Amino acid sequence: MSTSGSSTGNGPLYIGVSTKMYLGYQESLRWLSEVRSIVDDRPGLAAQDSPVRVFVIPSFPVLEQAARILAGSPVLLGAQNCAWGDGPLTGEVSPGMLAELGVRLVEIGHAERRRLFAEDDAVVARKVHAVVGHSLTPLLCIGEPDRLDAGAAADFCVRQVRAATGGDTELLPRLVLAYEPVWAIGADEPAAPHHVNAVLGLIRAALGPGCPVMYGGSAGPGLLPQLGAADGLFLGRFAHDPANLGRVLDEAVLLLQAGAVAPASNSSSRS
């Protein structure tokens, strides 16, 4: 999935959903089928070169069937985590196997993984390199744990990105970033749009162009049009109702029609 040249206003919008462990197996399959129908029913999304790139991240056991359900669709399949390699890592899932299953991007460094499973910057960096090594896209989650001003929040996030890449700037275009201030995850309201826009602008200024930065954290309808600095939204439980996801996708299409997002290049890879 090439992200080269992506930045607000001249690159794609990414709209994605993780189901975490909220949906059971059969419920996940029904949800995936409904998501596919929602995308197929919207001409602005159904083309392979659509500038609105939809992705879904179901649980590991669902991935094989998810790939079948999404076959021929522009919807990108993601995984919620991976190991840092192959071999004797009991209970883990390797990025190589994920690639075989048709996964295109892998979520890495979510606040829950960092807090509950003690995944520090070194572990996150190993996973980023393993994912890139299998030609997958790391969806790297970043975000300050406590409420900070925009400058301090951006500094914290930039340090996370640089730690995850080992300071290798050539890795940046291979990433998609999800800015999720930890204090806003699961909250009643998302972070204030002016805060998000300011933080994203500072992150982009520090990292340079070519690395899309979405917002996640209690995101829902009405937020995307307010986030002029965001390259999309990473949605959670709200979008487990497919109709709600459709509402956000309609907003993305309206932004596209208003000229806020340039069409993706026909030569741009979605792998």
pLDDT for res 260: 52
As averages over each run of 10 residues, the pLDDT of the chain (271 residues) reads 46 93 97 97 83 96 98 96 93 97 97 94 97 97 94 97 95 96 83 95 93 89 93 92 94 81 38 35
Per-residue pLDDT tens over the stretch 35-60? 999 999 988 787 778 899 999 999 99
Helices (H), 136-241: 150-165, 193-207
pLDDT of residue 255: 87
Q: Which helix (H) or strand (E) holds 131?
A: helix 121-133
Q: What is the pLDDT of residue 1?
A: 58
As given in the structure block, the two tokens for residue 85 are: 């390699």
What domains, with CATH codes, occur in the chain? 13-29+57-241 (3.20.20.70)
Residues designated as active site: 110, 180
Q: Classify 135 in phi/psi space as left (phi over 0), alpha (psi -120 to 50) or beta.
A: left
In the block, which residue shows the tokens 């996030």?
157
Q: Which two tokens stand for residue 81?
A: 């985590």
